[in-house]
A and B are shown apart, each in its own frame.
Chain A
Amino acid sequence: MSNTGQLTQAESATSSQSRILKSIVSKAIPYLVAVVAAFAVGAIIIVLLGHDPVRAMQSVLTTSFKSQFGFVETMHKWVPIVLCALAFTVPLSTGKFNIGAEGQLLIGATAGVAVGIMGSDLPMVILLPAVLVAGVLGGIVWAGIAAFLLVRFQVNEILSTVLLNFVSFQVIDYVASHVWPDVGAGHPATISVGEGALLPRLGPSPAMHSGVLLVVIAAIAIAVSMRSTSAGFEMRATGANQRASLVHGIKTSRLAGAGLVIGGGIAGLAGAIEVAGVHGKMLEGMQSNFLILGIIVGLLARGNNFAVPFVAFGIAVLEVGASAMQRTAHVPIELVLIIEALILLFVLFSDVPKGRFKLGKK
């Protein structure tokens, strides 16, 4: 995992601004090329499907910025994407792959909705924090299973986190159809949480929920902790070379487990915010494809926590544009997932040393 595990270089105090600028530009070029190439392939597919590529692309790229509503929707998508990406990058820094953010998100949502329903008479100052904390704890518990299996039994975390996703689907289906079912919904969903469990809006409608602010703070705190706390350094060292870290007194196995658990907590927070900020209840399918988007963002950011929020914004724009594209240009929404996967593939290609792009090199 050589590229994604790379430690972010501590900024050199002496390096001049122009050098930083130059390095940013040279790092940005592969991304620009990848994005353009992926869209070009996407356009070809649209033409092959017999639709209008210009109109489709226009919808994809501009919907977020054409209206207040579009922008709010984008930020509301941004929130779970950022959190799911961090749920991936934090364990990744120890060299572990958390592919279980959607399970952790759903169990976080379950915990949040449980508190929100059972304590629905409580005032907001108590209930809202309780819902959010419950969400975090739910995610921690769910990821904790995988962490325990990893630390205690060396069970591959990729598989355990993925399999727990499938278990979580059944858990929320059970909760939504047996514990607090909303019989009139026509779709497995719980009844609504109490008023006090809802995140206040920022300004008049259409306005975004205050979870956006919460996530900005959380993302900065996580990124700074990973860079500059002893534990963060130890986690990154573990990812860079587990054996060497062990030899130098770092409790690597425990940290790997901790990374997963922290990731789970972050994903659980996303679940709670979805309940408290967007749906007001829990419903089947609320995890959308945040798992995949989070991983794509995490990999595009190359594990750099500071870059995650920005990359996530770009992906959120595409996602909001995707629905609009399907409405206006009748291009199936899945096309955007393909474009995102292609951006990732093309960015990965930029890691290949020059001159290796030929067959039969020997």
Chain B
Amino acid sequence: MVDFFALVIPAMVPFLLAALGTVLAGRVGVFNVAQEGIMVLGASVGFLVSLKMGGNFMGLIAAALIGAVIGLVLGYTTAILRLDQFVIGLALYFATLGLGSLLYRAVIGTTLEPPLIPTLKDAPIPGLSKIPIIGEILFSHDLVVYFAFIVAFAIYWFMYRTNAGLKFRAVGENPKSADSVGINVTATKMWATVVGTALVAMAGAYLPMAYTGIFTEGIVAGRGWIVIALAFLAGWRPHFAVAGAAFFASMEVFALKAQVAGIGIPHQFVLMLPFVATLVVMLFAFKWARQPKYLGVNYDRESRLSG
């Protein structure tokens, strides 16, 4: 059991980072749907930089940067040019998917043996990791795990415990109201989208670094889409995103364990599990989960039609 939970915690990281990025942009009304592609791009860039420049740290930074660039495009086209968020998101999904694979092909070419990067090393927290059971489950992981949880806490604290957060949330609830009291709606949307998308790309970069050591086109395997469901499920709140990430990570670890243990069910049905579970959970989510009122809606100050 301890073993199971000790696996769930690192498995949460891609879900959590990507969900936090999604929530951050969503709370100011920018609904990103390109996660799947951005994570592939993040994984590819993170992998390549780790491989060629040495070091996963550099890889993560590079992934965050490329994510920020994509965030800039998403923010510029929606918050400033006011193009349809969903359509732009789809276009970015295609572009980032292609770019992620193209970069890998361009740098590595076609090889018989895929190149490997060393996976992240565990960094047990001195003292805390020695606590029985809890120490092994919570405090004996790689640094990115701790980083993800710190980001979750920081975003929560920012949103609900500061004046800046009060203003931030108002942008996604009623941008006109926010604008009318002097909040810079466009700037808020821009930075939230840039930071949020950077987090999504880092979530992708974690995949080759923590699990596989190699990059494949299918490495993200639907996690990007699950993350969107997770954001809805969490009601676009960072603290509930932690719980949601724990749920989906448990599904993933369970599927993995069940596959290895061979429980008599064809493995295809086990692999379906996270997706079927997401669908089932959404049955309930859309009933009670709240979402920002202006999620997916662009704000045009001079629009004469909008209330």
Contact = CB atoms under 8 A, between A and B. Distances in A.
Q: Tell me if chains A and B make direct contact, with any CB pair below 8 A.
A: yes
A329 interface: no
A79 B272 CA distance: 29
A167 B272 contact: yes
A357 B77 CA distance: 10
A348 B266 CA distance: 45
Interface in A345-362: 345, 348-349, 351-352, 356-357, 359, 361-362
A22 B90 CA distance: 31
Contact of B266 (A174, A296, A351): A174
Looking at chain A's contact residues, the main secondary structure is: helix
A154 B287 contact: yes
B51 interface: no
A93 to B, nearest CB: 15
A344 B225 contact: no
A163 B233 CA distance: 15
Interface in A37-93: 45, 49
Nearest to A2: B84
A149 B283 contact: yes
A222 interface: no
B98 A167 contact: no
A274 interface: no
A312 to B, nearest CB: 16
Interface in A135-179: 149, 153-156, 158-160, 162-167, 170-171, 173-174, 177-178
A344 B283 CA distance: 33
A162 B36 CA distance: 11
Interface in A280-295: 292, 295
Interface stretch (A207-215, A233-241, A252-260, A333-341): A333-341
B232 interface: yes
Interface string A1-14: 11110000000000
B280 to A, nearest CB: 10
Interface residues of B, number: 44
Nearest to B274: A166
A1 B87 contact: yes
Contacts of A344: 91, 94
Contact of A166 (B105, B275, B283, B301): B275
B170 interface: no
B106 interface: yes
B116 interface: no
Contact of B98 (A153, A338, A351): A338
A167 B80 contact: no
Contacts of A174: 266, 268-269
Contacts of B269: 170, 174
Interface string B92-112: 101101110110011000000
- Closest CB pairs A-B (n = 7): A337-B98, A341-B95, A332-B105, A341-B94, A334-B102, A170-B268, A174-B268
Interface of A: 1-4, 45, 49, 97, 99, 149, 153-156, 158-160, 162-167, 170-171, 173-174, 177-178, 292, 295-296, 299, 332, 334-335, 337-338, 340-342, 344-345, 348-349, 351-352, 356-357, 359, 361-362
Given A49-B106, A159-B228, A352-B81, 4 more contacts: A164-B279, A295-B90, A332-B106, A344-B91
